[in-house]
Structure 1
């Protein structure tokens, strides 16, 4: 586990087997009930995703396949995290700006969210995000 002041990398349980490994998520692994699950795939080379923060929603990201980078900003500090293992997830709490880029070919990003989609929960402009943080 790798914890920062505004994100956390969580090692998921991994059952190793010669026939293939298995990892799982149960309700005691992430600190919220899952209300929505979605995934990003077929992201074109050079494309970026994210570019927003949430006022109330938390998210947990996993690179199910391939790799991608996540840049996180809490309004004071900025950190880059590379996700490239399906048994490690990135916990992003509320109020953290995120940008996803550098997707490898065939990458799949699974997102577990603490809330259903609500456009009013999104902050999509970085200057407004900075105002929200102050």
Structure 2
């Protein structure tokens, strides 16, 4: 079972030139996951997103615009991360509750996942999440 210590943040190098910059990561090498799905979440200031955990899925969050605070919770310990640069990537493994709180208008998160969408993988109620943690 994963714990707060299983959550990790990685700062990717930026390659800058006169046209802008490039930040890249290799999901298999940098995060040890095989990406199967991407999705994009757009939020306005003070919007709360996420508020769920996954039974099996691992995800990587990258804030490509704006800024977002991410609260992660393993049922006993909580930790907060600030994603405010597009070269920061936060890996949230399964069994971890996560909430995203947008701190600016036009916040855009890109999320990479190691599994296809499956509604049965979601734990959307916090009490159900705590019961799931006790049973695994």
Aligned to 1:100: 100
> Displaced runs of 4+ in structure 1, greater than 6 A?
none
Structure 1 stretch displaced more, 118-127 or 23-32: 23-32
SS at match of 2:111: strand
> How many Å apart are 1:17 and its aligned residue?
1.7
Specify the SS of the correspondent of 1:129. Answer: helix
Residue 31 of structure 1 is matched in structure 2 by: 32
Task: Confirm or deny: 8 A CA contact 2:64 2:85 kept in the other structure.
Answer: yes
Decide whether the 8 Å contact of 2:44 with 2:104 is kept in 1: no
Query: Under a length normalisation based on structure 2, what TM-score does the superposition of the two structures give?
Result: 0.90
The verdict on how the C-alpha distance between 1:13 and 1:45 changes in structure 2, with shifts beyond 3 A counting, is closer
Query: Equivalents in 1 of 2:44, 2:14: separation in Å?
Result: 30
Equivalent residue, structure 1, for 2:87: 87
Aligned residue-pair number:
130
Distance 2:113 2:119 in 1: 14
Separation of aligned partners in 1, 2:45 and 2:24: 29
Q: Which has the higher helix share?
A: 2
Structure 2 segments unaligned to the other structure (5+ residues): none
In structure 2, C-alpha distance between the alignment counterparts of 1:102 and 1:59, rounded to whole Å: 18
| Distance in 2 between residues matched to 1:13 and 1:69, nearest whole Å | 21
Q: For structure 1, which runs of at least 5 residues remain unmatched after alignment?
A: none
| Alpha-carbon distance in 2 for matches of 1:81, 1:46 | 16
The corresponding residue for 1:111 is 111
Deviations 1:47-78 (A, max 9, x none): 21101000000000001011011110011101
TM-score by length of 1: 0.91
